[in-house]
Structures are given as structure tokens and as C-alpha cells.
């Protein structure tokens, strides 16, 4: 599945919101790892 820039940005925004919401219960390190993984996934799926 190929995502355009708009879809990628929207997906990133949704992921950021989810990560932030989870971050209220998760340690900071887990959030950073998840963010890095999400960024790597987004790059590899371009």
C-alpha cells in the first residue's frame, strides 16, 4: 500500500495522539522507542 504525503502526515498525527494518550500511562523511554519505530516504519513504507 502506497501512502501519499497527506495520508502519511495524517497517520503520523494520529499515531502521535495515540502515543501521547498512552504516554500518560507509559514510561518516557517506551514512547521514544515507539516513536522511532513508527518513523522507521513510515520511511520503509514510502
What are the structural domain ranges in the chain? 5-44
According to the model, what pLDDT value does residue 26 have?
Answer: 64
pLDDT 10s digits, 3-38: 788 888 888 888 888 877 776 776 677 778 888 888
The pLDDT score that the predictor gives to residue 42 is 87
Going by pLDDT thresholds of 50, 70 and 90, the confidence category of residue 1 is low
Cα–Cα distances (Å) from 44 to 4, 12, 16, 32, in that order, read: 13, 14, 18, 18
Quote the pLDDT of residue 39.
87
Q: What is the pLDDT of residue 31?
A: 72
Amino acid at each position: 500500500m502506497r501512502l501519499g504525503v497527506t495520508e502519511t502526515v495524517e497517520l503520523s498525527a494520529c499515531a502521535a495522539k495515540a502515543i501521547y494518550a498512552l504516554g500518560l500511562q507509559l514510561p518516557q523511554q517506551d514512547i521514544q522507542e515507539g516513536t522511532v519505530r513508527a518513523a522507521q516504519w513510515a520511511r520503509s513504507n514510502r
